[in-house]
Structure 1
């Protein structure tokens, strides 16, 4: 008996071939699933820590400006980024000040903590999406 067959490596390599050959759209679906978890968690954390009931006018509140997309200037390879918008106001800069602190503001590391606490849930969502895609590919063979 071949050692590869005994360890199940043939099946693992076949599955890995499916992973390596994912299309950009499939990678976007997988990464987007994880990004949605982080977006929701980050919005909730921002509201819990830094939301004030005040009129913001035309400018969205910091907690409402979290977006999923690709980074400007990066190649389209299926990666997704989660972050604060800079369109109507530089919310990314404000969030960094609140997270890291400044000379006048004590930082609370809420972004770092939220990402750390929700990384497992985001990865579970990505694994579920990957499994769904691989099952669909397997059914199409």
Structure 2
């Protein structure tokens, strides 16, 4: 078994926002057509933190994956992030893991792409002004996505 490992920068390079928006269009379309299996998020509380597991299967495009997120509140005191995420891509024919991806970057891109898709579907074609509340990773991803679908000038 050969597994690719993608760092945050690898994920950023491999998944431009415009492609992420189209992937979200496909995923939401499959969800709407009842072609997606998204079990409820599983939670595992430990004495140190919380683990979240989120699997998904898109039947039409035959894509399987899951994300694991750990929320460890004491990590910053140890020089570690409080939130750590890992995404795994699974081969739909064999069940083998094919790739491990930095989940924090993937989540930022995916969440931004959802907002970009909404802007593409709902905003006027000539919309050129965007408002973003916040200044963190998600704010940057939302602005990048808006700029990918509209001629944002301010």
Answer whether TM exceeds 0.5 for this pair.
Answer: no
TM-score (normalizing by structure 2):
0.25
TM-score (normalizing by structure 1):
0.27
Comparing both structures, which one devotes a greater share of its residues to strand?
A: 2
Computing the radius of gyration from Cα coordinates, the structure with the larger value is 1
Structure number with greater CO (CA < 8 Å, separation at least 6) is: 1
